[in-house]
Amino acid sequence: MMQTQTGRSASVWQNMNTTLSRRVALTLLAHPDDAEILCAGTLIRLADAGWEIHIATVAAGDCGTTSLSREEIARIRKAEGVAAAAKIGAAYHCLEEADVQVFFDRSANRKAIDLLRKVAPTLLFTHPRHDYMLDHEQTHLLARGAAFAYAAPNASELPLIHGSTIPWLYYCDPVEGRDPYTGQWIKPTVHVDVTEQMPRKQEMLACHASQREWLRAHHGMDEYIDAMRRHAAERGREVGMDFAEGFVQHRGHPFPQSDVLQELFGGNQ
């Protein structure tokens, strides 16, 4: 039920009053390497500021090959995810859904809620509602649903960690920064300067050698890394930085309304 005080619910005010009582950030994205492309610079800054970092994927990327079996490439890509996360002392998780078969259904929803129950994030990153492939869009639904539900005592049979609450929720850029349905350039609500973090972000992305090598063979250049750098540079130019990552904050009821990334890092709006 809606309360007074600018229409925010009691749960929002509780969240605001316990700001940063837990400093745990989680990315719930579709595939291994999505976090490294879309938000690793911000994760590095959070890790350096003392935050506990978790990188999770819904799928293991078992279609990311032209020559290996699903089982072989899944093992490789999950190992690459672990290696990339280790670069910043983060934990890697996989919900073990199949590539190009990610759906918001009962089973996947249960896995997503249970993941958040185990991690109890105060800050969550996921894909935007509109993106270039449906795995990303369905992951958006799973993350948003779990963010809303996980702290409810009866939402999971797993124990509820003290301090669990609805997290700050941010949407990473869609691929190429454009809405795939309209072609419109997405305007972030906050930019995070990742200029100093770019070498480490690049190292994390380079851990995903199975994807990098395939693209090198296909394009004849290191397009995997170069495309990431181009987009970060484009976001940076918008706000006078060398490199930046852009995010759109979810501000629907009853999610936190303050911009924690702006407060932490002074990103331009």
pLDDT tens, residue by residue, 192-230: 999 999 999 999 999 999 987 777 776 666 688 999 999
Query: What six digits make up the tokens of 234?
Result: 């484009």
- To the nearest 10°, report the CA torsion of 153, 162, 259, 148: -10
Report pLDDT for 59: 98
Report pLDDT for 218: 61
Question: Structure pTM?
Answer: 0.91
Query: Considering only CA atoms, which of 164, 165, 180, 194 is closest in space to residue 255?
Result: 165
Alpha helix ranges (H) inside the chain: 10-17, 34-38, 40-48, 70-86, 106-119, 134-149, 198-206, 209-219, 223-238, 260-265
Phi then psi dihedrals of residue 220, to 5 deg: 75, 15
Residues 125, 39 contacting (CB under 8 angstroms): yes
Distance CA 122, CA 261 (A): 12
Instruction: Fill in the DSSP letter of residue 210.
Output: H
What CATH number belongs to 22-252? 3.40.50.10320
Instruction: Fill in the DSSP letter of residue 199.
Output: H
Query: What six digits make up the tokens of 133?
Result: 């492939």
Query: Considering only CA atoms, which of 163, 124, 132 is closest in space to residue 42?
Result: 124
Report pLDDT for 241: 97
To which H or E segment does residue 269 belong? none
- Could you tell me the sign of the dihedral formed by the alpha carbons of 8, 9, 10, 15, in that order? negative
Burial class (CB in 10 A: 0-12, 13-18, 19+), 203: middle
Point out the residues of the chain with pLDDT beneath 70.
Answer: 1-20, 218-222, 267-269
Report the alpha-carbon angle 125-131-134, nearest 5: 100
